[in-house]
């Protein structure tokens, strides 16, 4: 069996097992990843597949047959009066969410500077989405 297929299958089983638990199982190296101090913004992402996908803070990963799918990024928290300066020009400055096409074996690292228009302060957030293919 191809190592990539085996790795993808193991990851899929591990992810499914975590979904069945009552409480989500935190991944130690991701605890606190991209979490800022209280009251500031964080970014989460999700790679959409036919499976039951989970949002991840700071990074997300999915495996699928389709050559391409959509990666969703969302900023949580932060100011209510804001402007977002995304690292990808396809994302809107007036929205705290962005969706981008993602292809098999591709990673997208999206960063955003969130401007609080009430006091002109910035906070920066980022997340990386990865889509792995299998055949």
Residues 41-70 have pLDDT tens digits of 999 999 999 988 999 999 999 999 999 999
Q: 37 pLDDT exceeds 70?
A: no
| Cα–Cα distances in angstroms (integers) from residue 35 to residues 57, 78, 105, 118, in the given order | 8, 12, 26, 22
What range does the domain containing 64 cover? 3-133
Give the span between the Cα atoms of 76 and 13, in whole angstroms.
29
Predicted pLDDT of residue 40: 81
| Cα–Cα distances in angstroms (integers) from residue 63 to residues 14, 16, 28, 39, 47, in the given order | 13, 12, 21, 33, 9
Reported confidence tier of residue 39, pLDDT bands at 50, 70, 90: low
Predicted pLDDT of residue 14: 43
Reported confidence tier of residue 10, pLDDT bands at 50, 70, 90: very low
Residue whose structure tokens are 């009552």: 22
Q: What is the CATH number of the domain that holds 24?
A: 2.60.40
- The total of structural domains in the chain comes to 1
């Amino acid at each position: 069996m191809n190592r990539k297929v085996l790795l993808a299958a193991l990851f899929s089983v591990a992810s499914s097992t975590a979904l069945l638990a009552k409480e989500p199982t935190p991944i130690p190296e991701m605890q606190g990843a991209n979490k800022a101090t209280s009251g500031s913004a964080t970014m989460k992402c999700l790679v959409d597949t036919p499976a039951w996908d989970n949002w991840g803070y700071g990074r997300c990963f999915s495996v699928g047959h389709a050559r391409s799918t959509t990666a969703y990024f969302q900023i949580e928290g932060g100011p209510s009066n804001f402007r977002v300066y995304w690292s990808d020009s396809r994302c809107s400055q007036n929205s705290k969410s962005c969706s981008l096409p993602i292809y098999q074996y591709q990673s997208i690292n999206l960063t955003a500077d969130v401007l609080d228009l009430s006091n002109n302060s910035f906070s920066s957030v980022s997340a990386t989405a990865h889509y792995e293919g299998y055949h």
